[in-house]
Amino acid sequence: MAAVSSLPPPARRRRRGGGRPPAVAPYLSRLMALTAATLLVIVSAGTPAVAAAAPTDAQFLAAFKPHYNSPKLMALDAELLVRVLSLSPRPFSLVITLLADGCVACDEAAKLLHASAKALAAGPPSARPSTPVVFGAVKVSSSDKAFLSTTGITHVPKVYHLSPSVKWPVVMAGGPNDLPAKSELTDAGVRGWLNSVLGSRLAVRRSNYAVPFVPVIKAFSPLLGAAGIAGAAAVGWTGAWRSPWLYFAMLMGVYTFSLAGGHYAWIHNIPWAVVDGNGVTRYVADGNRAQYGAEGVATATGCVLMGGLWVVVHELPSWLGQGAGSLSRAASWAAALAIWFGWTALVGLYAGKMPGYLTYTSQ
């Protein structure tokens, strides 16, 4: 048990009309300290934190340096683009594509620009432009009204080149440095455009052109002439000119050329083939009843070969002799099967290029 002397004395009641008041100084000091601490907490909570200092122009431009000639597209928005364009001249060029949420064509344009950026980064230094270039993707929306109004942009996708001297405000729509034609949004189109605006040397596959029929034939005319002379010499030397099969083969050659529409193609210079925007050569005219020169030759050759196989089926027994009955029958069945496969492939070609192509209509 604690000693009695150590316990605090009992509180004395204040007598009416007098008496000594209790000591209040210790309680006042504690109350003042508590009040001061409470005010300090309230003031601290209500005072906003000091914002970090905004980067200087030099620091802002330095943030683009890791993206010089980078194979990746730098993610930007309208606000960042306006700020970087406000700093001119810059030590780099900008090539940007404008994107929007839910725009499939925008994604395709970004893929094409990304492919060109990768090709430029992977290529030799001699193929790169003298001024560094930053490839970027700028996402815009209807809320960027001031930006869209100033630039004149009404639709996306769009691809632009902004040289170091271009300064905000700038009108982008219909300008001399944009990629205006929708047909140019191809791999070859983007590469060729970059070479023209940046001075780069990206390899460009030729695209969007037709391989002419007549010049191709003329280009091979020396080889065809040499083959004709060699064939005539061989025929004369061996005496094959006496065989009716020689003249039958010559006749079939002329027939094949005619069946392929060779005369029509020669007169009207029908393209031998067409190279699309991605540099892929198309030998079949998909989706229409027209034929390219190569398609006509292939079709006519297949038809003539199928006709020749019927002759083979008929003549095989006499060629192989009476003692090769089973072999003759097997060869005949093989020839007939080849005819069936050839016909199926021919019908499948036209059914694939244009459904309903072989269906008769009165129109």
Asked if residue 280 and residue 248 are part of one domain, the reply reads yes
Q: Which of 62, 60, 99 is nearest to 83 (CA)?
A: 60
Asked whether 151 and 96 are in contact (CB, 8 A), the reply is no
Domain stop point among 198, 226, 260: 198
Asked whether 229 and 223 are in contact (CB, 8 A), the reply is no
| 7 found inside a domain | no
The crossing angle, in degrees rounded to 10, of helices 325-353 and 293-320 is 170
pLDDT tens digit sequence for 206-246: 767 788 888 888 888 889 889 889 988 988 898 888 888 88
For position 3, what pLDDT does the model report?
38
Asked if residue 331 and residue 283 are part of one domain, the reply reads yes
Q: Which of 217, 219, 227 is nearest to 257 (CA)?
A: 217
Q: How many domains does the chain have?
A: 2
Asked if residue 322 and residue 213 are part of one domain, the reply reads yes
Asked if residue 83 and residue 184 are part of one domain, the reply reads yes
Asked if residue 214 and residue 181 are part of one domain, the reply reads no
CA separation, residue 339 to residues 219, 252, 325, 342 (Å): 34, 17, 21, 5
The CATH number of residue 61's host domain is 3.40.30.10
Separation CA 9–CA 89 (nearest Å):
86
Separation CA 363–CA 290 (nearest Å):
17
Q: Is 163 left (phi over 0), alpha (psi -120 to 50) or beta?
A: beta
Separation CA 195–CA 203 (nearest Å):
9
Domain stop point among 137, 172, 198: 198
pLDDT tens digit sequence for 316-352: 777 776 666 677 777 778 888 888 888 888 888 878 8
Asked if residue 192 and residue 249 are part of one domain, the reply reads no
List phi, psi (to 5°) of 160.
-130, 150
Regions in the chain scoring below 50 on pLDDT: 1-15, 17-19, 21-22, 24, 27-28, 31, 39-44, 47, 49-51
For position 32, what pLDDT does the model report?
55
For position 245, what pLDDT does the model report?
81
